[in-house]
Amino acid sequence: MIQTIGRRMTIMVPQIILLSILVFLLAKQMPGDALTGLLDPTIDPAAIEAQRERLGLNNPWYVQYWDWIVNALQGEFGQSFRFKMPVTDLIGERIFNTFWLSLATLVLTYLIAIPLGIFSGRYNDTLGDRMITGYTYLGFAAPLFIFALLMLWLFGFKMGWFPTGGSVTPGMVPGTLDHLISKIYHLLLPATSMALITTVTTVQLLRSEIIDIKHREFIHTARAKGASESRIYNRHILRNSLLPIAAFFGYELTGLIGGTIFIENIFSYPGMGELFFSSILLRDFSVVVTLILLYGVASIIGALVSDIILGLVDPRIRIK
Amino acid sequence: MPEPTAREMTKGEPPLPAGLPLMEKSPPGLIILWREIVRDKLALASLVFVLLITSAVYITSFVLDQAQVVRVDLFALNKPPSSDHWLGTDYGGRDIFGQLIIGTRNSLTIAFLVTALTGLIGITVGVVSGYFGGMIDNFFMRVVDFFLILPFLMIVIAFIAVVPKYSIYSFTLIMTAFLWMGIARLIRSKALQERELDYVKASRTMGSSHAAIIFKQIMPNLSSIIIVTMTLNLAANIGLESGLSFLGFGFPEDTPSLGTLVSYARNAQTLESRPWIWLPASALILVLMLSINNVGQALKRAADARQRRG
């Protein structure tokens, strides 16, 4: 198994290098460079040219790439010209908001998926199962942004049950209980909206796993031994059918990335997706580039986590 | 149940007269798909609905003048629905109903184009790497793996932001460039299975060229899976286009699309008190995607003999 993980990690290295090259070339296409955010227009063009030369901005792209990647590895991603602060600090402010949003969504996703999937699989072709299947059909087809918009309109504006933006009520003192409650309150609607859509694939997967497993021989054996129905479902079937769900956990993480961009945008939630969006609109490209790199590495790691869990669960697919 | 072979059928019986078929030929894939759709009333209704909307939208947009629809009218800003404007007007006094028709046409056109292009690339890459295997397969699959780990939405938005002279064509191309991998992977795994079957080996022994085997023998066997994927992708692409347009990175501003209509709802006041602007477009996206998905799911059942209803 350790060998498998090692081999899987070596596949990651060229992927990350390719990703960084792509992101770097993308950044080169973007107007403006490290100096645009710092200089004021009254400076003599010759002085700017001298500065460009000194900073290596006139070097060929592969030399610049090397300088950039060496800096990036040291956590140095340049300045945001909009906020006049290092990109690393700026992202550090937002990363926790996105982390909490993703965590809340994941928890809700499984809180919804596991009971629904078990019910649907255990009592398949009953009325309840048909309703759950109908919901998964709807959730599968509905685009996240429209669903989130409808939720915001209904529960945020029409009913007024939830706040319509932000991550915390302004004026709260960090560290107090009220601050924490307010944070959770602000998370609830965005996280639920996203979870209700992302959960459907897990519900479908769990349902078909359970239906598949409950006709296997070892279940008949367990029943013949006189195991109670609840013991069969809770121990024999559930344990087996949760394995593939666990394995898709990493891909679930990757899927959250696209989702948070929409959700943070719609609910004006100050996370990294919202930062990405506003930065690209204002052409603050050092932030954009860093975020793409960060999210790219995150999804590479997500795929790695999934493959490792899959390998642990199912020895047949370990990389030879 | 496996179909009886010719020998089993004739065993112990007098030989059949020449010219008579030994067994009933199973119907071609397309007919099976069609039968499944007809049997599934919901899917049939969805198909009819999609076809109706599509033809209605394309036909009316011939009559409708796009410049007329997107013309700003300062005397009719944000008007609720009336007899003049069936679905009201937006912040520029533009008629929502007209925008909805043109927007649906634009969204559908892009979705069809992207689906066709990604299909073309994905099927080609998939069949070639699945059929030939070895180095070619290895190379293409590493490329696919790489594309799949990219954060799709961010990369596409970044590309759209940096492309000079951004137009509908660049939009289509950028979307296509990052969407062909799923089909490639699926088709590759199917082609890989097909390749191992005896008929391919037999055909090769008889001297058929690779091209003949791919186009005349393997492709027809993959046709139903291709149709299923393309249908489901069409629905997904409508969602993607409208999602990107919603964020402001889809159609250029002067070209209405379903997503741009929904994007007016990013203004809190419009979202809260002027639902006529964004709600119809949202509902239309939802219903269109749901219907196309319905058709796709029915086709998927038909393509998988174990799940077929009839």
For B67-125, how does the pLDDT look when each residue is reduced to its tens digit (9 = 90+)?
667 677 766 676 777 766 666 777 766 778 888 888 899 899 999 999 999 999 999 99
Q: Is the pLDDT score of B10 beyond 60?
A: no
**Interface probe with A: pick from B139, B150, B253, most Cβ of A within 10 Å:** B150
Q: Which residue has the higher pLDDT, B18 or A301?
A: A301
Superfamily for the A93-285 domain? MetI-like (1.10.3720.10)
pLDDT digit string, tens, across residues A171-205: 777 777 777 888 888 888 999 999 999 899 889 88
Three-state DSSP class for residue B13: coil
**Is the pLDDT higher at A238 or at A119?**
A119
Q: Nearest CA to CA, how far is B198 from chain A (Å)?
A: 26
| Greater pLDDT, A15 or A27 | A15
- Under a CB-based contact definition with an 8 Å cutoff, are residues B127 and B98 in contact? no
CA of B39, closest CA in chain A: separation in Å?
Answer: 19
CA distance A221 to B87: 63
What is residue A112's predicted lDDT score, i.e. its pLDDT? 92
What does the pLDDT read at residue B1?
40
Query: In this structure, which amino acid lies at residue B125?
Result: V
pLDDT of residue A32: 60
Subunit contact B286:A266, Cβ cutoff 8 A: no
Residue B162 has pLDDT above 80, yes or no: yes
Residue B239 contacts A, CB cutoff 8 Å? yes
B42 touches A at CB < 8 Å: no
B249 to chain A: closest CA residue: A281
Which of A296-310, B7-21, B78-92, B240-254 shows the lowest per-residue confidence on average (mean pLDDT)? B7-21
Most A CBs within 10 A among B154, B264, B286, B289, hence the mutation to make, goes to B154
Other beta carbons less than 10 A from residue B132's beta carbon: 15
A300 contact partners, CB below 8 Å, separation of at least 6: A12, A15, A16, A19, B149
- Two tokens at B88? 């009201």
Angstroms from B205 CA to nearest CA on chain A: 32
On the question of pLDDT at A294 being above 50, the answer is: yes
pLDDT reading at B16 higher than 60: no
Q: Which helix (H) or strand (E) holds A247?
A: helix A238-247
Q: What is the 3-state secondary structure (H, E, C) of A276-307?
A: HHHHHHCCCHHHHHHHHHHHHHHHHHHHHHHH
Mean pLDDT of chain A: 82
Most confident stretch, A236-250, A287-301, B179-193: B179-193
Of B155, B271, B282, the CB nearest to A146: B282
Percent of chain A with pLDDT over 70: 90
Look at chain B and count its residues: 310
- Contact between A144 and B243 using a beta-carbon 8 Å cutoff: yes
| Mean pLDDT of the region A239-258 | 78
Task: Determine how many CB atoms are found less than 10 A away from the CB of residue B298.
Answer: 25
Long-range residue pairs from A131-139, CB within 8 A, at least 24 positions apart, any chain: A132/A203, A132/A207, A133/A207, A135/A200, A135/A203, A136/A200, A136/A203, A136/A204, A137/B290, A137/B293, A137/B294, A137/B297, A138/B290, A139/A196, A139/A197, A139/A199, A139/A200
Section B161-187 average pLDDT: 88
Tens-digit pLDDT profile for residues B81-94:
776 666 677 776 67
A interface with B, Cβ–Cβ below 8 Å: 11, 15, 18-19, 22, 26, 29-30, 137-138, 140-146, 149-150, 152-153, 157, 164-165, 254, 257-258, 261-262, 265-266, 276-277, 280-281, 283, 288, 291-292, 295-296, 298-300, 303
Q: Which of A30, A144, A292 sits opposite B155 (nearest CB)?
A: A292
Matching residue, tokens 């091209």: B211
- Please give the residue of chain B at the shortest CA–CA distance from A135: B290
Tell me the angle at which helices B219-247 and A249-266 cross, rounded to the nearest 10 degrees.
40
What is residue B86's predicted lDDT score, i.e. its pLDDT? 67
For chain A, report the end-to-end CA distance as a whole number of angstroms. 10
Report d(CA B61, CA B98) in Å as an integer.
9
pLDDT, one tens digit per residue, over B144-159 is 988 888 888 888 988 8
Query: Taking CB atoms and an 8 Å cutoff, what residues of chain A touch B285?
Result: 143, 146
pLDDT reported for residue A261: 87
pLDDT at B12 over 60: no
Please tell me the pTM assigned to this model. 0.82
What is the average pLDDT score of chain B?
A: 82
Residue A289 phi/psi, 5° resolution?
-60, -45
User: In this prediction, what percent of chain A has a pLDDT beyond 90?
Assistant: 12
Contact B290 A145 (CB under 8 A): no
> Tell me: the pLDDT tens digits for B190-227?
898 888 888 888 888 888 888 888 888 888 888 888 98
Amino acid at A8: R
CB B101 within 8 A of CB B60: yes
Give residue A195's pLDDT. Answer: 92
| Distance separating alpha carbons of residues B134 and B138, to the nearest angstrom | 6
- Kindly report, residue by residue over A95-112, the tens digit of the pLDDT: 888 888 988 999 999 999
For the segment A62-87, the average pLDDT, to the nearest whole number, is 78
Residues of chain A in contact with residue B239, where contact means CB-CB under 8 angstroms, are 143
pLDDT at B310: 46
Whether B135 and chain A come into contact, CB under 8 Å, resolves to: no
Gap between the Cα atoms of B258 and B1, Å rounded: 48
Residue B19 pLDDT greater than 60, yes or no: no
B81 interfacial to chain A (CB closer than 8 Å) = no
| C-alpha distances in Å from residue B43, one per residue of A201, B282, B289 | 21, 21, 12
Which of B67, B93, B59, B66 lies closest to B78 in space, CA to CA?
B93
- CB-based contacts of A119, cutoff 8 Å, min separation 6: A128, A129, A132
- Provide the pLDDT for residue A194: 92
Number of neighbours of residue B61 by Cβ within 10 angstroms: 19
Of A22, A141, A146, nearest to B262 by CB-CB distance is A146
Per CB-CB distance under 8 Å, the chain A contacts of B146 are 15, 18-19
Angle at A242 between CA A237 and CA A248, to 5 degrees: 155
Question: By CA distance, what is A20's nearest residue in B?
Answer: B150
B94 vs A136, residue with greater confidence: A136
Q: Are the C-beta atoms of residues A117 and A203 closer than 8 Å to each other?
A: yes
Asked if A149 and B248 come within 8 Å (Cβ–Cβ), the reply is: no
Dihedral angle, C-alpha B41, B42, B43, B48, nearest 10 °? 90
CB A28 within 8 A of CB A316: no
Burial of B306 (0-12, 13-18, 19+ CB in 10 A): exposed
A319 band by pLDDT with thresholds 50, 70 and 90: low
Q: What is the DSSP string of A58-127?
A: TS-HHHHHHHHHHHHHTT---EETTTTEEHHHHHHHHHHHHHHHHHHHHHHHHHHHHHHHHHHHHTTTSH
Percentage of residues in chain B with pLDDT exceeding 70?
A: 81
At B84 the pLDDT is 66
Asked whether residue B11 carries a pLDDT value surpassing 50, the answer given is: no
| pLDDT tens column, B44-56 | 899 999 999 999 8
pLDDT at B4: 46
pLDDT in tens, B282-305: 999 999 999 999 898 888 887 776
Helical pair B181-195 and B219-247, crossing angle rounded to 10 deg: 170
The most confident of the ranges A112-116, A162-166, A245-249 is A112-116
Residue B177 above 60 pLDDT?
yes
CB distance B256 to B103 below 8 Å: yes
Question: Is B272 close to A150, i.e. CB distance below 8 A?
Answer: no
The per-residue pLDDT for B125 is: 94
Residue A78 binned pLDDT confidence (cut-offs 50, 70, 90)? confident
Q: Which residues pair with A85 in a beta bridge?
A: A80
